[in-house]
Amino acid sequence: MNVVNFQDGQCKRIRAYLDSYLNNELLVETNHEVLKHIERCNGCAGLLEARARVKEALQRAVRDDVAPPELRARIQKQIRRTTPATRTWLVAAAAAVALLVGGLGALKVWRAGGHPELPAAPGVASVFNEQNASVLKIGIGDHVHCAIDSGMSRLRFTEEEMAIKMGPDYRGLVPLVRARLSSEFEVAVAHRCTFNGREFVHLILKKDARVLSVVITRKSGESFSKDDFAADIGATGVPIHESRMSELGVAGFETRDYLAFVVSDLAAEQNRLIASSLAPAVRDFLAKLDA
């Protein structure tokens, strides 16, 4: 009987990395190798997607599991009985648990669709309705999936790689963004990616440990509501809508056929100023594609 091996050596090696890849534990070079492989291997890409779904299901199960009040009471009672040195350790551990729970709670708000509103700023519309919240989540979703969860923010592409991965229609976008943010952020990655069956043009900018995404996608029936727009930012004439979700700021605007977003963990004012700086030029760039 002949045994057919459907998995070559490269696939076997890449599949051994998948769990570490999902947990952002790989070196930059290995991460890049995995990304390049799954772009051309449907089998490994499907396995990665399946493992990501399992990971999400486990995280959801943990988030939904609430510890009983009796457990908290027992922990507090145990702390009171310990020596001072041990008590210090236990308090530190309890604080760490509290931070973890808080972080999971924030993530749960994002996953469940919560969107705490920002104080209104001059010329900026904060999210007051579900329509705009739903549109803004499109930009945040790709930022979280691609820049954070997939580890793309750890990479750095050459100019040639960016040009190839962006395609001829979007090659002019990188110098356009760079010209307006050169003193603030460096364009590290520019490519096309797919999330939830939707294609995005994604620029990842970096400054020290900060990561900022410029995310663009074609509309699929979505549009911002005009009802809650207060005014333009400055004199740009571009309506910009914003909110903050799970510690991430997002500012979005649109053309006839496209949605564009600026997403980061910067302070709200910084994120909106960057969006304000980019919006007119990006809008004009996309308007040419509209035509």
> Binning pLDDT at 50, 70 and 90, where does residue 101 land?
very low
> Binning pLDDT at 50, 70 and 90, where does residue 142 land?
very high
Contact 272, 124 (CB under 8 A): yes
> Residues 7-45: pLDDT tens digits?
568 888 888 888 888 877 777 778 788 888 888 888 888
Within 13 Å, how many C-alpha atoms sit on residue 120's CB side?
Answer: 11
pLDDT of residue 105: 42
180 by Cβ neighbours in 10 Å (0-12 / 13-18 / 19+) ranks as middle
- Asked if the model's pLDDT at residue 279 lies above 70, the reply is yes
In single-letter form, the type of residue at position 100 comes to L
Q: What average pLDDT does the segment 139-149 reach?
A: 94
> Binning pLDDT at 50, 70 and 90, where does residue 288 land?
very high
- Asked if the model's pLDDT at residue 3 lies above 80, the reply is no
pLDDT of residue 104: 42
Distance CA 274, CA 234 (A): 12
> Binning pLDDT at 50, 70 and 90, where does residue 194 land?
very high
- Asked if the model's pLDDT at residue 282 lies above 60, the reply is yes
Q: What average pLDDT does the segment 191-206 reach?
A: 96
User: Tokens 């007051």 belong to which residue?
Assistant: 128
> Binning pLDDT at 50, 70 and 90, where does residue 106 land?
very low
- Asked if the model's pLDDT at residue 82 lies above 70, the reply is no
- Bridge partners of 114? none
- Asked if the model's pLDDT at residue 1 lies above 90, the reply is no
Average pLDDT over the chain reads 78
188 by Cβ neighbours in 10 Å (0-12 / 13-18 / 19+) ranks as buried
List the single range of 22-36, 67-81, 115-129 with lowest mean pLDDT.
115-129
List the single range of 41-45, 101-105, 200-204, 224-228 with lowest mean pLDDT.
101-105
- Asked if the model's pLDDT at residue 236 lies above 70, the reply is no
> Residues 158-185: pLDDT tens digits?
999 999 999 999 989 999 999 998 777 9
Indicate the SS3 state at residue 195.
strand
Phi, psi of 115 (to 5 degrees): -155, 85
pLDDT of residue 143: 96
- Portion of the chain with pLDDT greater than 70, in percent: 68
- Asked if the model's pLDDT at residue 291 lies above 50, the reply is yes
